Amino acid sequence: MDQNSDIISTKPFNDQKPGTSGLRKPVKVFQQSHYLENFVQAIFNTLPTLKGARLVVGGDGRYYNREAIQIIIRMATANGLGELLIGQGGILSTPSASHLIRKHQTDGGIILSASHNPGGPDKDFGIKFNTPNGGPAPEKITEAIYSESKQLKEYRIAEAREIDLDKLGKFELGSLKIRVIDSVADYSNLMQSLFDFDQIRDYLQGNDRRIAFDAMHAVTGPYAKQIFEQVLNCPPGTAFNAEPLLDFGGGHPDPNLAHAKELVKQMFSDNGPFFGAASDGDGDRNMILGRNIFVTPSDSLAILAANAAVIPGYKHGLAGVARSMPTSAAVDRVAEKLGIECYETPTGWKFFGNLLDAGKITLCGEESFGTGSDHVREKDGLWAVLFWLNLLAAKQQPVINIVQQHWQEFGRNAYARHDYEEVESDGANSLMEALRAKSSGLIGKPLGAFSVQYADDFSYTDPIDDSISNQQGLRIGFEDGSRIVFRLSGTGTQGATLRIYLEAYTQEKADFSANAHELLKPLAEIAAETAQITHFTGRDKPTVIT
């Protein structure tokens, strides 16, 4: 190697176990000497071939993004990697990174993001490895990285100059090639290959067709500006909060009713836009709103699946669909009607990868504002927004009509998630243990006005590689199709976050105009009592309801 490379002695950290989506910790933890370096070396050590390997690298632009990329560059050259493709300014949304890995057939990618977690010097940072299919590494690989991190004694890093990440072009550092590429262009082209942009453009010219997109000061800003304001000719300002900031303007870059307040206010006002949407820190989540209506992510997945035939990229039909276990069963009903398979997976996009690669599914989604398809191997926020716009244009209908028609045909799965954030880990674990111990005894018994049909701890066997993932959430299913699910978050960085997912199924017309929280009240009460939430967490109400 013609670089000055050092082999640095280090000691393992014992907390580098990736969670639902990569390793997420406070920035301060990542800034400790050797912390990031150890994890990057652990990733490199688990790559099948290190010499000459090619990786895509980019992140959501949060605090520490640029510093981390410079470290990865110096470690890549010291370890003999072949090439890094890096988004300009270090910026790549998660779905666009997935696309680049696939397009350039690299050996994978490193995505720097803590997604919806807040950013800044006192907030969170994250890193995750994606495999050559463009998707988040499956558990087999995250486990291998974790065990490598626990026995690491040294890492390699070159003493090298900083690479100017803002300048497009090719650089060399020792034997490592570096290409700084446009972060947006390839992604924008991919979207244009899936959707009818002419039809959307024409439709948006019509009367009262103003749209609003809240980029939440996060990574989708430049993508949304380009796609909405340049390609689709929407007026400037259509994408707002569009400049990625190191701390996301101090907000929570999570597109939901609680955190995208500015957008929600506009959408629930008389002269507001007729369509609104938002995306998260790393651009893989989406929130869809029409005037005076919020579409739950579970309904959104079902509606996209039911109407896919009118979208150019999906007109040949869907191979199948999948949803994470806590996501409502709305899409199951659509799959049944279409005569296609519907898979139920654990939480986290990594579980969809095998199904997508095997061609078993075309669309998939999660209740946590994540929707996607086989075009990449991550969920994709702007893709979902464009899918909706294409749908509105093809049907010439506002969001509210499309949702109401869907419920008329399939019934309504009223849905909400209650989060108890940053509770003490011991209490949260005891709650789950106590519930697990009593769950099988609930079967056949009444709970309030409901009768328990099944109660179990969700376990998943991957239909492609037979790998088994246990303890993926406690579920209580009732005879009328209603459901309560309990699980602990795998993306939080402080204490534990208890998530309770409530779902009630109804075909009553009167319920189609009712508030979801009213419909779910009896289930919320049963959840609180059955899990003894106040007893174990000391809380009497959730921190966030989405």
Look at residue 156 and give the partner it binds from ligand VG1, Co ion, none, a contact being a CB closer than 5 to 8 Å depending on partner kind.
none
CA distance 334 to 306: 6
- Partners of residue 347 on adjacent β-strands: none
Chain mean position to CA 304: 17
In angstroms, what is the minimal distance from the CB of 253 to ligand VG1? 9
CA distance 499 to 119: 22
In 336-479, beta strands by DSSP E: 341-345, 363-366, 370-373, 412-423, 446-447, 450-457, 460-461, 468-469, 474-478
- Residue closer to ligand VG1 (CB basis): 142 or 324: 324
> What is the edge-to-edge ordering of all strands in the sheet holding 446-447?
446-447, 450-457, 474-478, 483-488, 496-506, 412-423, 544-545
Task: Please tell me the chain's helix, strand, coil percentages from 3-state DSSP, rounded to the nearest 5.
Answer: 35, 25, 40
Chain mean position to CA 184: 19
User: Which residues contact ligand VG1 (rule: CB under 6 A)?
Assistant: 20-21, 115-116, 280, 284-285, 324, 347-349, 366, 368, 370, 489-491, 499
Q: Residue 407: count other Cβ atoms within 10 Å of its Cβ.
A: 21
φ/ψ (deg, to 5) at 258: -80, -35
Q: How far apart are the first and last CA of the chain?
A: 53
In angstroms, what is the minimal distance from the CB of 281 to Co ion? 6
In angstroms, what is the minimal distance from the CB of 223 to Co ion? 14
- Residue closer to ligand VG1 (CB basis): 285 or 406: 285
In angstroms, what is the minimal distance from the CB of 374 to ligand VG1? 17
- Partners of residue 289 on adjacent β-strands: 276, 294
Look at residue 119 and give the partner it binds from Co ion, ligand VG1, none, a contact being a CB closer than 5 to 8 Å depending on partner kind.
none
Q: Which residues are catalytic?
A: 115
- Residue closer to ligand VG1 (CB basis): 16 or 77: 16
φ/ψ (deg, to 5) at 489: -65, 150
Residue nearest to Co ion (CB): 115
Residue 90 DSSP class:
E
Sequence-separated (6 or more) residues with CB below 8 Å from residue 458:
325, 346, 471, 472, 473, 474, 475
Segment (H or E) for 58: strand 54-59
Residue 161 DSSP class:
P
- Residue closer to Co ion (CB basis): 158 or 216: 216
User: Which residues contact Co ion (rule: CB under 5 A)?
Assistant: 115, 280, 282, 284-285
Segment (H or E) for 362: none
In angstroms, what is the minimal distance from the CB of 396 to Co ion? 32
Residue 346 DSSP class:
-
Look at residue 349 and give the partner it binds from ligand VG1, Co ion, none, a contact being a CB closer than 5 to 8 Å depending on partner kind.
ligand VG1
CA distance 364 to 367: 11
CA distance 170 to 147: 35
- Residue closer to ligand VG1 (CB basis): 189 or 471: 471
- Residue closer to ligand VG1 (CB basis): 134 or 348: 348
CA distance 298 to 301: 5
Surface-to-core class of residue 43, CB atoms within 10 Å of its CB (0-12 exposed, 13-18 middle, 19+ buried) = buried
In angstroms, what is the minimal distance from the CB of 301 to ligand VG1? 12
- Residue closer to ligand VG1 (CB basis): 148 or 280: 280
In angstroms, what is the minimal distance from the CB of 156 to ligand VG1? 29
Task: Pull the structure tokens for residue 2.
Answer: 């013609």
Sequence-separated (6 or more) residues with CB below 8 Å from residue 32:
none
In angstroms, what is the minimal distance from the CB of 133 to ligand VG1? 17
- Residue closer to ligand VG1 (CB basis): 280 or 511: 280
φ/ψ (deg, to 5) at 9: -75, 140
Residue nearest to ligand VG1 (CB): 115
